[in-house]
Structure 1
Amino acid sequence: MEIQSSRLLRKVLIGATGSALALTSALAANYEDTMPLETVKPAPNLEEVLPHPEQREEAMAKLAEFESRTGKRPNILVYLMDDVGWGDLGVYGGGVAVGAPTPNMDALARDGLMLTSAYSQPSSSPTRATLLTGQLPVRHGILRPTLYNEPGGLTNAVTLAQLLSDAGYVTQAVGKWHMGENPGSQPQNVGFDDFSGFLSVSDLYTEWRDPYFYPEIATSEERTEMIREWAFEKYWVHAEKGGTIEQVKEIDIEVSSHLDEYWKDYSIEFIEKMADSDQPFFLYHCTRGAHFDNYPRDEYEGSSPAKQVYKDTIVELDDILGELVAALERTGQLENTLIFIASDNGPEMESWPDSAYSPFRGAKGSTWEGGVRVPAIFYWKGMIEPGRASDGLFDIADIFNTCLTLAGATDSIPTDRFIDGVDQTSFLLAEEGLSNRKYIYYWLMSYFSAVRVAEYKYVQFAESDSGEGIVNPGGFTGYIMAFPYYHLYNLYLDPKEEHNVSIRKLVFTDLFLEAMKKHIDTFLEYPPVVEIITGH
């Protein structure tokens, strides 16, 4: 696969008509009607799965052949972007069409598996903890983004990093953490051998320094000093396993503009270091961009056709991914590495125009599709059949189970807690792999919001996205709407979730009630760590 700089391709791509269609034309989609299919339960504490035994056998044989040929288990690279919308990438209909070409991400999608129904949690911290624990937020306890100096929720967690480390992997975290600043929730204490990044989220480092957003602080020496004395972390930090964090550089606006560049270099150094290692690696690379506020470095300022800071940042994120992939190829590790690219939630719409694009209703902070349906691409040269697209359901919790299968460490999955992730190894590796997941369960904080089966979504709680106090559609300024009679949306016909068809689709009611009952029953045997509201 040829990785190129989006800056080099820009003259070719800008002005091309039908660019998104051209990019997706090489993708062959497969489909399975999951609604009538029966699920099986792999273990009492594991989510039900759709079994595909022949595909499972094919995938495991492929994995065994890989291990025999290479002498070790595969490397894993997670490239997790911040607040990037489903529609920002070219292969999802964005790219050139929305003023920010993404040729590297598009190339990986064309040469790998592109998912159109992949789901995160409504916001950053819950998603990140779900990826690392395989659990829904009401089980791991992080329900919303952690803020200034708040403790996290990973102190008693069993993380993917820890289990991969126990399985012989070198584990490296780079970039945004955002699961708490307390020592028990810091990356070096939950399974990572090394961490370089920041513990919080972009705006908490810079907003109070910017006179545009906080003139009452930035123009007052006394208030600026007051903020400086508050206990929250203000630095890019570094830590090694079991150690304490060391401050690398205070993050002001100028430093913030270079963080993704610094972190890219750190990850490339790690990739180069691992080239001659007998151990596989897990590289968890989380970008600063494109969370508000975006301050592109000089090289990228005005680099997008849109000439706007969010779009400039998307161009940089695409280039960074290209450089990471090029480093893998240059060091002979590309064929040994599974790459997963995703966003931590839907687009942030309350910071418009420093925000993302989505074709769905709602945005970050909500359980409307716009808040939780995210771009997701898998690439593994020679192992994942190229040119695949699938609308099979995928939850970011599935990374937990899938990576442990790839690592040969499924026996390490804890049995004292419920794991919501599903092993999707056969989905990835079988030639025409189908999703092993039948249900997507949507949680809005502690509210059991909705469930999806096939193309239908049954909604009982949702966030308002219009009315008094709403800054922009979606986000964190709405209020909880409880529907006395459930709403049902056909996501194929109505991705904006505007037409409630429940009164004409009553035949499906028992299907959804059964799915919800099975899900709620898991909390009886494995109680949640927070009080939950389940509705009907």
Structure 2
Amino acid sequence: MSTNGARKSGSDRGMPDRRSLLLGGSALACMAPFGALRAQPGGTTPRNPFDLTVQAAPHLEPVIPRPAQEQAAADKLAALRARTGRPPNILIFLVDDMGWGDVGAFGGGLLIGAPTPHIDALAAGGLKLLSTYSQPTCTPTRAALMTGRIPVRSGLNRPLLSGERYKVNPWADEVTAARLLSDAGYTTALSGKWHLGEGEGLYPHQVGYDEYYGILTVISEMSQQVDGRLYPDLVLRPDRLNAIRSIAPAHITRGIKGGEIGIDRATRTIDELSRIDQHFADFSEGFIRRQAEAKNPFYLIHSFGRLHNDTYPAPGYAGKSPAGFPHRDAIIEVDDIVGRLMRVLRETGQEENTLVFFTSDNGGNEDLWPDSSYQPFRGGKGTTWEGGVRVPGIASWPGMIRAGRISDGLFDLCDLFNTAVALAGQEGKISPDRYIDGVDQSSFLLADDGASRRDAVFMYRENQVTALRWMEYKVHFMVFQNETVRRNLDASTLTPVGQSPWVFNLYMDPKEQASQGHSRFEWGLPQVSARLNRHLATFERFPAKDLGLAKRPGGG
């Protein structure tokens, strides 16, 4: 199977064509005729006053030009480079399953019995992004963040489960920001959770990271092998336990570019499992200190194991939160680790030359209630309701990002790829043979009054487009319906909408409770249709990949 992602048609690759991605028979079919403005007499088509975007190249997502802020950002970066003599460091804090409202700066914190003073200080000292969007689950978001491509393009469109292996190596023709930055002289590292493939050619240190220390899977894949209380049907059955350990070993592993994968330590007990985020923090601290001594720019993704289930408080954290629940104790631990690594940046004199970005890989997992995350929106992890894909976003960089800024401008985690590559001066190295969905948002972050350069966010359930965000409007073409309260993952169905898409003005209806698409948004439906058609047309030249991850015939 060809995997160059640029030549064969979607039907040749065994993937649905762009119209089947529209979920045939849904309201989208009737919207298609409204995709373009009507031609004027004389055969000319006027520019759409609602579309300010410009597409620089066929493989790049259209962006809204912001000349003044782009110049302001360029001036800041040039002045910084003149002072430091090197490009900036980039540190990304990526929490697992943190809800939009878990952090104090986003309405949680002490309100939910888990103060987050260090993360709150990060937000107060920088830019708080109210409309940051992830994918509905962890593997897709991580792939998007690292490649700048929505998961349907890379094929990394759902999490791997115990013992699964890809039929096609997704990394054979994907390029990470880490690889581009490593080639440009950065030292790159991933600390913590990977969950983007196991096996030769799939490890972090084989796809662009100079150093890797962490877990290849997810905490629940490890806890199911050690917790006889939660998983007695596995842990207390030696034949089953040995079988699962043989195909999904629970280890902390490490690797160096050019070397073999190695086991750092086994996690065969709950006590050992409870300490893993402290081990990740030890590695990240050591990495940051080593780069300071080497005077080398670095790119580090600190990828927490928290807050994914199952939660076992690290030593000293049990009951430390006012709430006293393990999940809230884990929030306290995450906050402490953020504070610890920020202190290391300050102690080593690197804070003023480091972009720090804090976020989550998806919304909170409501299925685990009461010991679960909080978001003030509908739905949670696994859905494309706001609660599943809207996540906290904080950008901090003393002297470069003005303190105290708050913006509701659109930011997709795909944008971290383009932004990191641009800050390293490597945007010219992005290959034109694959479509990049991310947008360089460096001027949005750096200009004192910066605005987003992104026009819309497209949301997917695996290989099916379900919704998009444009301006303050959320438009659904398929909706997740819960069969049971708070069962977004375990008991929900994905249903096509009827005659009209479901439309919510998120300023007026942030909980997405009462659609008013046909009655108050008829003016906007042609605009939404045009954006969706343009987006789906990109698959004709740049087809999606099939890694063999479909869960059922015809499913994605």
Task: Give me the TM-score of the superposition, normalised by structure 2.
Answer: 0.87
216, 228, 247: which one aligns with 1:199: 216
Tell me: CA distance 1:473–1:225, structure 2 relative to 1, closer, same or farther (3 Å): closer
Asked if 1:282 is matched to 2:299, the reply is: yes
* 1:131-146 equivalent positions in 2, closer than 5 A: 131-146=145-160
Asked if 1:437 is matched to 2:454, the reply is: yes
1:113 matched residue in structure 2: 127
Rounded to whole Å, the distance in 2 between the matches of 1:473 and 1:506 is: 33
2:522 matched residue in structure 1: 506
What SS does the aligned partner of 1:464 have? strand
1:488 matched residue in structure 2: 503
1:515 matched residue in structure 2: 531
Asked if 1:458 is matched to 2:457, the reply is: no
Asked if 1:209 is matched to 2:226, the reply is: yes
Tell me the CA shift for residue 354 of structure 1.
Answer: 2.5
Tell me the CA shift for residue 298 of structure 1.
Answer: 2.6
| Higher alpha-carbon deviation: 243-252 or 386-395 | 243-252
What SS does the aligned partner of 1:116 have? strand
| Aligned amino acid, residue 261 of structure 2 | I
Query: How big is each residue's C-alpha offset from its partner over 1:166-208, in whole Å with a ceiling of 9 and x where there is no partner?
Result: 1110001110000011222210100011111010000001123
Tell me the CA shift for residue 278 of structure 1.
Answer: 3.4
Tell me the CA shift for residue 248 of structure 1.
Answer: 1.2
What SS does the aligned partner of 1:183 have? coil
Structure 1 unmatched runs, 5+: 1-33
What SS does the aligned partner of 1:104 have? helix
Query: How big is each residue's C-alpha offset from its partner over 1:278-309, in whole Å with a ceiling of 9 and x where there is no partner?
Result: 32000111011110000002300000000000
Structure 2 unmatched runs, 5+: 1-47, 551-556
Query: How big is each residue's C-alpha offset from its partner over 1:431-477, in whole Å with a ceiling of 9 and x where there is no partner?
Result: 11000001011111111111111111111112222x2xx46242253
2:39 matched residue in structure 1: none
425, 440, 446: which one aligns with 1:423: 440
- Does the CA-based 8 Å contact 1:154-1:184 persist in structure 2? yes
Task: Give me the TM-score of the superposition, normalised by structure 1.
Answer: 0.90
131, 136, 148: which one aligns with 2:162: 148
Asked if 1:479 is matched to 2:496, the reply is: no
67, 70, 74: which one aligns with 1:60: 74
| Higher alpha-carbon deviation: 470-479 or 362-371 | 470-479
What SS does the aligned partner of 1:273 have? helix
Tell me the CA shift for residue 311 of structure 1.
Answer: 0.1
Asked if 1:354 is matched to 2:354, the reply is: no
- Does the CA-based 8 Å contact 1:134-1:401 persist in structure 2? yes
| Aligned amino acid, residue 265 of structure 2 | K
- Does the CA-based 8 Å contact 2:275-2:315 persist in structure 1? no
2:21 matched residue in structure 1: none
How many residues align structurally?
Answer: 495
Tell me the CA shift for residue 56 of structure 1.
Answer: 0.3
Tell me the CA shift for residue 148 of structure 1.
Answer: 1.5
- Does the CA-based 8 Å contact 1:196-1:263 persist in structure 2? yes
- Does the CA-based 8 Å contact 2:292-2:350 persist in structure 1? yes
Query: What is the alpha-carbon root mean square deviation over aligned residues?
Result: 1.6
- Does the CA-based 8 Å contact 1:444-1:462 persist in structure 2? no
* 1:294-333 equivalent positions in 2, closer than 5 A: 294-333=311-350
Asked if 1:342 is matched to 2:359, the reply is: yes
487, 494, 497: which one aligns with 2:512: 497
Asked if 1:170 is matched to 2:187, the reply is: yes
246, 249, 256: which one aligns with 1:240: 256
| Aligned amino acid, residue 301 of structure 2 | Y
Rounded to whole Å, the distance in 2 between the matches of 1:434 and 1:160 is: 23
- Does the CA-based 8 Å contact 1:122-1:372 persist in structure 2? yes
- Does the CA-based 8 Å contact 1:397-1:422 persist in structure 2? yes
- Does the CA-based 8 Å contact 2:224-2:234 persist in structure 1? no
Tell me the CA shift for residue 508 of structure 1.
Answer: 1.4
- Does the CA-based 8 Å contact 1:176-1:286 persist in structure 2? yes
- Does the CA-based 8 Å contact 2:162-2:244 persist in structure 1? no
| Higher alpha-carbon deviation: 147-156 or 367-376 | 147-156
1:96 matched residue in structure 2: 110
What SS does the aligned partner of 2:243 have? helix
| Higher alpha-carbon deviation: 36-45 or 367-376 | 36-45
Tell me: CA distance 1:148–1:294, structure 2 relative to 1, closer, same or farther (3 Å): same
Rounded to whole Å, the distance in 2 between the matches of 1:473 and 1:503 is: 29
Rounded to whole Å, the distance in 2 between the matches of 1:248 and 1:77 is: 23
Tell me the CA shift for residue 61 of structure 1.
Answer: 1.0
Rounded to whole Å, the distance in 2 between the matches of 1:96 and 1:418 is: 42
Rounded to whole Å, the distance in 1 between the matches of 2:296 and 2:195 is: 28
- Structure with the bigger RCO (C-alpha within 8 Å, sep 6+) is 2
Tell me the CA shift for residue 480 of structure 1.
Answer: 1.4
Tell me the CA shift for residue 242 of structure 1.
Answer: 2.2
- Does the CA-based 8 Å contact 1:362-1:475 persist in structure 2? no
What SS does the aligned partner of 1:316 have? helix
408, 411, 414: which one aligns with 2:431: 414
1:51 matched residue in structure 2: 65
| Higher alpha-carbon deviation: 74-83 or 485-494 | 485-494
1:401 matched residue in structure 2: 418
- Does the CA-based 8 Å contact 1:150-1:182 persist in structure 2? no
Tell me the CA shift for residue 521 of structure 1.
Answer: 1.1
Rounded to whole Å, the distance in 2 between the matches of 1:55 and 1:217 is: 56
Rounded to whole Å, the distance in 2 between the matches of 1:216 and 1:517 is: 48
- Does the CA-based 8 Å contact 1:177-1:200 persist in structure 2? yes
